[in-house]
Amino acid sequence: MSTQIEKAKENSNIEQISVKLFAGLFNGIPVVNDKDQVIGIVTALDVLRSIREGKTLNTMIAKDIMTPNPYVVKKDTPIKEIIDIMIEKGIAMVPVVQDSSNKIIGVVSRVDIITGKLKETFTS
């Protein structure tokens, strides 16, 4: 799990989110409300769909293109379950929430899981 989280508010400008997505090479950016609860996610695919529809990035906000109510997991969710979600839903990153409050505490990406397994291999 990565605890250094890039996140956005629902009124964040898509142009600014796009810069974060591509400069940081993130799979997606969780969208949170004022209580830091996950309410959506903006991915590179969401941005590409908007471009294809002829929308201008600097005139849109996260709420306009985010996927609402994304899959989230808790800190103690087994890795196998997280992998199943990623495979079944075709997603590359899942927000990690504290509890039923949906407050974000991190994210788990495909890269995090693979890197963790590689570290286990090389330290054994």
pLDDT in tens, the chain (124 residues): 888 888 999 999 999 999 888 877 677 899 999 999 999 999 988 999 999 999 999 999 999 999 999 999 999 999 999 999 999 999 999 999 998 888 999 999 988 899 888 888 777 6
When divided into structural domains, the chain yields a total of 1
The pTM assigned to this predicted structure is 0.87
Q: Where are the strands (E) in the chain, listed by range?
A: 8-9, 28-32, 38-43, 67-68, 73-74, 93-97, 104-109
> Which residues form the domain of 63?
8-123
Q: What is the pLDDT of residue 124?
A: 61
- Whether the CB-CB separation of 29 and 20 falls below 8 Å is answered with yes
Specify if 30 maps to a domain: yes
The SS3 assignment for 4 reads coil
Looking at residue 100, its pLDDT comes to 81
CATH number at 88 reads 3.10.580.10
Note whether residue 105 is domain-resident. Answer: yes
> Is the separation of the CB atoms in 92 and 45 below 8 Å?
no
